[in-house]
Structure 1
Amino acid sequence: MTAKERNEMSPESDSLFEFPCDFPIKVMGRAHPDFAETIVEAVRPFDASFDASRIETRASSGGNYTGLTITVRAVSREQLDDIYRALTGHPMVSVVL
Structure 2
Amino acid sequence: MNGNGNGEEQAESLLKFPDTYHIKAMGRNEGDLLARVRALVAAHAPDLPDEAFACRASRDGNYLSVTCTLVAESREQLDAIYRALSTDEAIMLVL
Corresponding residue SS for 1:15: helix
Q: Distance in 2 between matches of 1:79 and 1:64?
A: 31
Structure 1 residue 87 corresponds to structure 2 residue 85: yes
TM-score in terms of structure 2 length: 0.81
- Return the letter of the residue paired with 1:94: M
Greater gyration radius: 1
The answer to whether the 8 Å contact 1:49/1:73 transfers is no
Give the aligned length. Answer: 86
Question: Once the two structures are aligned, what percentage of the paired residues are identical?
Answer: 39
CA RMSD of aligned residues (A): 1.7
Question: When the two structures are superposed, what TM-score results if normalisation uses the length of structure 1?
Answer: 0.79
- Structure 2: which 5+ runs fail to align? 1-8
Q: Contact (CA 8 Å) 1:15, 1:77: kept in 2 or not?
A: no
Q: Is the 8 A contact 1:43 1:83 kept in 2?
A: yes
**Structure 1: gaps (5+ residues):** 1-10
